[in-house]
């Protein structure tokens, strides 16, 4: 029997993700397509690999046995795909970029507009997420990250740093005293993340033991949090350059030191030989390095 390696890659995604919808998201496919491919693999093998229910996919014993080997094969398929893409000489085509919500909403649009002017044959897929997309698994071709990746097969270039600050709308502060010490923040309405703990960890470093309940407005959507600051809901945190664009926002100095966040541009090392991806990577590196954050 001749095995379609792509089916094993799809099986591995379904096995690891636990549902057709999650596997489809990872593979950048659709749920029905993933389901049909799983059905085809089961037909070829003559085995039932998953029991399907509303709760997702329950692997059978046969699936567990296959999974011991499918991961390695899936990795081989990904590497072959990367090698093939890496040798592409044409500029025309799609480049998939992932970046945080703030960067996607307020930084990349103007840069990508300039890119389209000089490279009209390139198409961009932008994944706006605060999750770290897996470049090794081809979730994206290029990533903008605030932490340096550690995987050895990735190429990372630090292109800039972003200064962070504390802001509130002037209307909010007109009704309350302006905080000048970290402890003063306790008496204010704060804006922060829901599940992400980055801000909470920052407070704890300054001796303030807080939980997410410390924040009156909570969202893991960075743009929603920023809009909440601009709407006057309370005090929040964000890029200094973004806050300075709104004349009604006041930068507060509660003597909380916030280190600048680095911007790393990342791609897979084998994709550097792709003329299309290299073109976008170099363009973004140049453009981001010139922005006064």
Write b or e for each residue in 91-116: b if 16 or more Cβ atoms lie within 10 A of its Cβ, otherwise e: eeeebbbbbbbbbbebbbeebbeebe
Strand pairing class (50-53; 93-99): unpaired
| DSSP character at residue 46 | T
Q: How do residues 15-57 score in pLDDT, each as one tens digit?
A: 889 899 888 888 888 888 999 998 888 888 877 888 887 778 8
Segments of the chain with pLDDT less than 70 = 1-5, 69-89, 132-138, 202-203, 205-208, 270-273
Query: How many residues does this entry show for the chain?
Result: 293
Q: Which residues contact 244 (CB under 8 A, 6 or more apart)?
A: 251
Domains and CATH numbers, the chain: 5-86 (1.10.10.10), 93-162+262-289 (3.40.190.10), 164-259 (3.40.190.10)
SS3 144: strand
82 contacts 134 by C-beta, under 8 angstroms: no
Taking the whole predicted model, whether its pTM rises above 0.75 is answered as no
């Amino acid at each position: 029997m001749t095995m379609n390696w792509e089916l094993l890659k799809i099986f591995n995604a379904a096995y690891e993700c636990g549902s057709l919808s999650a596997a489809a998201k990872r593979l950048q496919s659709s749920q029905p397509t993933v389901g049909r491919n799983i059905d085809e693999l089961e037909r070829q093998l003559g085995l039932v690999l998953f029991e399907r229910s509303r709760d997702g996919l329950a692997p059978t014993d046969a699936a567990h046995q296959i999974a011991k080997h499918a991961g390695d094969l899936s990795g081989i398929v990904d590497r072959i795909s990367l090698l093939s893409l890496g040798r592409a000489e044409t500029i025309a085509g799609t480049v998939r970029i992932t970046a945080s919500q703030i960067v996607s909403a307020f930084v990349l649009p103007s840069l990508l507009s300039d890119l389209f002017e000089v490279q009209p044959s390139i198409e961009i897929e932008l994944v706006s997420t605060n999750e770290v997309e897996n470049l090794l698994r081809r979730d994206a071709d290029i990533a903008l990250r605030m932490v340096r990746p550690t995987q050895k097969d990735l190429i990372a270039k630090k292109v800039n740093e972003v200064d962070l600050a504390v802001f509130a709308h002037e209307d909010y502060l007109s009704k309350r005293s302006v905080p000048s010490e970290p402890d003063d923040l306790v008496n204010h309405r704060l804006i922060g993340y829901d599940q992400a703990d980055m801000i909470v960890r920052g407070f704890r470093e300054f001796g303030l033991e807080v939980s997410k309940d410390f924040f009156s407005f909570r969202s893991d959507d960075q743009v929603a949090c920023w809009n909440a600051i601009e709407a006057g809901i309370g005090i929040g945190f964000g890029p200094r350059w973004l806050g300075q664009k709104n004349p009604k926002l006041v930068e507060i100095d509660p003597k909380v030191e916030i280190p600048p966040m680095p911007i790393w541009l990342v791609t897979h090392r084998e994709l550097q030989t792709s003329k299309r991806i290299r073109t976008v990577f170099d363009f973004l590196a140049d453009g981001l390095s010139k922005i006064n954050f």
